[in-house]
Amino acid sequence: MRGQFINLQRFASIAELFSQPDVLDYVRNRQYKPFMGDALFPARRTQSLKLDQIYAGNRIPVIAHVSAFDTEAEIGSRQADKLSLELALIKRKMQLKEEDLIALQSPRNAAEANYMQSRVFDDIDSLVQGVLAQVEKMSMDALATGIVEVIDPDTKQKATFDYQVPAAHKADLTGKSGTTWDNDSADPIKDITDWADAMDVTGTRVLTSKKIYRLLTRNANVLKAVYGTSTRALGQSDFDAFMQAQGLPIIRTYDDKYNEQVGNTLVSHRYFPEDAFVIMSDDTPGEKVFGPTPDEVTGLNDPAVQKQSIGNVFAKVYSAGEDPVGVWEKASAVALPSFPGANEVFQAKPIKLA
């Protein structure tokens, strides 16, 4: 639809110009830049507004005892615990100004028609990406801290989701008994070894920040462990080879940011905390779970809307208000990360931020 000139004057309203099926098709077919969290927490749809968080127990096998022939099999017990969480409603909208509405419905030429149409789809892209960014932020909070906090922008009420990461799988070096990695006497390899040994699964990878990674590669004790001297520069390939040879996880960084609108100002924030260091296995720790939004439920009353055309984020263009004339672009999702691997990660805080 984008990039093709449409005779806008044959449409009676903006709602017809940007019909719900067309907007849904556009969003479903649009390829947005993937987040790192999309690989760690792949998306899944559910028709429920509740997330039954299943803790599958450790993936360490429970040994079956040897039995004599013709005897009853040993009865096992499941190790799963269940936590029910309510998916969070995420939404954002933008208003089309009255002068834009006039230009959309009465364009002076094809170029202006295409330009105005593209602006609306650009707005939809921005709104959808904003919703997906919130889900990414929640997923990274779960991975880094085991806690997700959601604040309703309308009521300012805060909901806290605790994924119950075991206390034995957490370490904070900023306390009195720890030595943070910005200290010359720090021994990060020993810390990582201790943390990896405390896990019930084999930690094969780490997610952290570039700030922490740089401290590691410049630490004298790390350099001596890798090279036997503290005067050489440590590159990623040598560091990876050393860590793998020691049976330790390889380290990667995530430093992408998003903007939050505070009043008329955009404030930059990180998806993944700069002071976090998370060890995990090769398994995906969780999922980004999406459910039906109120807009989706209402939209399905339109016979032109096909259920299979609805993706994880529901976008629409709609009218609301007569004076001034209000036409809005909106994107919404009901989502929350699941984190069944919460007891298979180690969450550390090796530095103290200023």
CATH of the domain at 19: 3.15.30.10
Which range has the top average pLDDT, 50-59, 169-178, 187-196, 319-328? 187-196
Assess whether pLDDT exceeds 50 at residue 6: no
Give the residue, 282 or 54, on which the prediction is more confident. Answer: 282
Assess whether pLDDT exceeds 90 at residue 42: yes
**Of the candidate ranges 129-138, 168-177, 326-335, the one whose mean pLDDT is the lowest:** 326-335
200 inside domain: no
Give the residue, 161 or 225, on which the prediction is more confident. Answer: 225
Residue 250 φ/ψ, nearest 5 degrees:
-80, 155
264 inside domain: no
pLDDT tens sequence across 62-102: 555 443 444 444 444 443 344 556 678 888 898 887 777 77
Q: What is the mean pLDDT of residues 110-118?
A: 77
Give the residue, 212 or 153, on which the prediction is more confident. Answer: 212
In terms of residue numbers, what domain contains 12? 8-57+81-163+286-341
Q: What is the mean pLDDT of residues 329-350?
A: 93
Q: CB-based contacts of 173: which residues, under 8 Å, 6+ apart?
A: 179, 180, 181, 191, 348, 349, 350, 351
Beta strands in 209-313 (DSSP E): 250-253, 257-262, 265-270, 277-280, 287-291
pLDDT tens sequence across 137-149: 999 999 999 999 8
Which range has the top average pLDDT, 11-20, 55-64, 315-324? 315-324
Give the residue, 25 or 205, on which the prediction is more confident. Answer: 205
Assess whether pLDDT exceeds 60 at residue 345: yes
Collapsed DSSP state (helix, strand, coil) of residue 160: strand
277 inside domain: no
194 inside domain: no
291 inside domain: yes
Tally of domains within the chain: 1
174 inside domain: no
Phi-psi domain of 58 (left: phi exceeds 0; alpha: psi -120 through 50; beta: other)? beta
- Per-chain mean pLDDT for the chain: 84
Residue 267 φ/ψ, nearest 5 degrees:
-110, 130
pLDDT tens sequence across 290-339: 998 888 888 777 776 777 778 899 999 887 766 556 788 899 998 999 99
Helical (H) or strand (E) element with 295: helix 294-299
Query: Per the structure block, which two tokens stand in for 310?
Result: 């609805």
pLDDT at res. 155: 73
195 inside domain: no
Burial status of residue 24 (CB atoms within 10 A of its CB: 0-12, 13-18, 19 or more): buried
140 inside domain: yes
